[in-house]
Amino acid sequence: MKPLRALCGGELPRLVMFDLDGTLIDSVPDLAAAVDRMLVELGRAPVGVEKVRDWVGNGARVLVRRALAGGLDHATVGEAETEEALARFLDIYADCHHLTALYPGVHELLEALSTAAVELAVVTNKPERFVAPLLEQVGLGGYFRWIIGGDTLPQQKPDPAALLQVMHLAGVDAAQALFVGDSRNDVLAARAAAVPCVAVSYGYNHGRPIAEEKPNLVVDNLAELF
C-alpha cells in the first residue's frame, strides 16, 4: 500500500474515511429515477440522469431544490415547495435502490485495509437513514465502524465537523488519517480538517475535473491505492 504510506508520512493511515456517492457507489441512476418520479408526481417534466449527475453532492435537500429550479442555482425555490417535494423524494428514494452499484476496486481496497486493521468510516452528505441499508445491499455491510450522514450533525461537508468527529471517536489525529472523496466538498472538508485527501476521477463533481481542486492524489480506480 505504497501510495497510502506516501500520503501519511511513510506509515499506513490508522483511519480512512470515505465519501459514499460517486466514490464507493454509483448511486446516480437510482437518485435520478427518484428525482424524475418526484417531478412527474408534481406535474413537471422529468430531467434525466445526466442532469442529476451534476446536481448530487450537497445532500437530498439541495438535490431536490436543484431539480425544482432545473439547474445548480436554486436560490429562487420557495420553502413550502421545497418541503413538499423533499418529503416526496425521500419517500420515493427509500424504495429506489436496485440500480446502485459498487465501483471497481472498492471491495478490494476495503478488504485490504481491514485486513491491515485500518479503521474505516463513511462521511456522506446523503441522509443517514439510507446509508447502512445501501452499504448492506452492495456487500459492504461489515466494513465501517462509523457512519456520518448529511443529517447526523448540524454541519455538512464542506464543513470539516464530521471528519473531526470521526477522528475524535477513533482517537486518531489528522496526520494518521486519510479522506477519500469525489467532489469539491470532499477536498475542502479534508483540507479544513488538515487530513490528506485522495480524490477519484470517476465521481460527481458538477461536471468539472476533480484535479482542479488540488487533492493530494487523484486515482481512476481505488485499487491503485494498494
Ligand X SMILES: O=C(O)COP(=O)(O)O
Question: Residue 126 Cβ, how far from Mg ion at the closest point, in Å?
Answer: 8
Rg (CA), the chain: 17
Binding mask 172-201 for ligand X (x = CB under 6 A): -----------x------------------
Active-site residue, 220 included: no
Question: Residue 91 Cβ, how far from ligand X at the closest point, in Å?
Answer: 16
The CA distance from 63 to 81, in Å, is 13
Residue type, 50: E
The CA distance from 203 to 31, in Å, is 14
Question: Residue 18 Cβ, how far from ligand X at the closest point, in Å?
Answer: 9
Return the closest-CA partner of residue 29 out of 126, 125, 99: 99
* Total length of the chain: 226
Binding mask 54-73 for ligand X (x = CB under 6 A): --xxxx---x----------
Cell of 66: 436543484
The CA distance from 88 to 42, in Å, is 9
* Among the listed residues 125, 152, 165, 176, the single contact to ligand X using CB under 6 A: 125
* Among the listed residues 8, 15, 17, 19, the single contact to ligand X using CB under 6 A: 19
Q: Give the interface with ligand X as residue ranges (CB under 6 A).
A: 19-22, 56-59, 63, 124-126, 157, 183
